[in-house]
Amino acid sequence: MKFLEKLIERSSRKVAQNTSRRHVLTQISKVMIGVAAVPLLPVARASEGPTHGYPGVGNQTSGLDGDPGDPTSCDYWRYCAIDGFLCSCCGGSATSCPPGTEMSPITWIGTCLNPADGKNYIISYNDCCGKTSCGRCLCNRNENDKPMYRPQANNDINWCLGTSSSVYTCSTGVLLGVAVDE
């Protein structure tokens, strides 16, 4: 213990001899100003964001009657078989691609239950292609996903092969119509 006490005493005396009180006060004030400025940074404000959905992306609606939910949330009813980044968080919407991208004509199909009316709807999942992935609102729901040997209902394939660029950007969920019960 005596060794530790002597070591601490020697090092504190050395610091006191080599630094001035003004220097210490300057350093403390710099730290205090830096800590006070943290809430002003855009990163701090973006992390507060909405209570649900993706941080920094506001709530949206599809604008259609009987279409409940937020298209920027992975829990949106149309996204029951989606796999990828949501175009509604990338500058597009649930049914349209962001500017500068094009919608792939090749799609996979899913059937989702609309909680508002209790009906099943056929949803066409189209990939938007042409820019790099936006990296926002990743959603991977595999409720009706089929194996690779049923490609029309598989969401793990890059569907950008029918466009001028095979670079994947995001995915949409286009409503095609009411599913017929057999």
Residues with catalytic function:
108, 127
3-state secondary structure of 39: helix
From the CB of residue 86, how many other CB atoms can be counted at a distance below 10 Å?
28
For tokens 């409940």, name the residue. Answer: 68
Whether the CB-CB separation of 23 and 17 falls below 8 Å is answered with no
Residues across the chain = 182
Question: In this structure, are residues 87 and 131 in contact, taking their beta carbons and an 8 Å threshold?
Answer: no
Rounded Cα distance, 78 and 30, in Å: 51
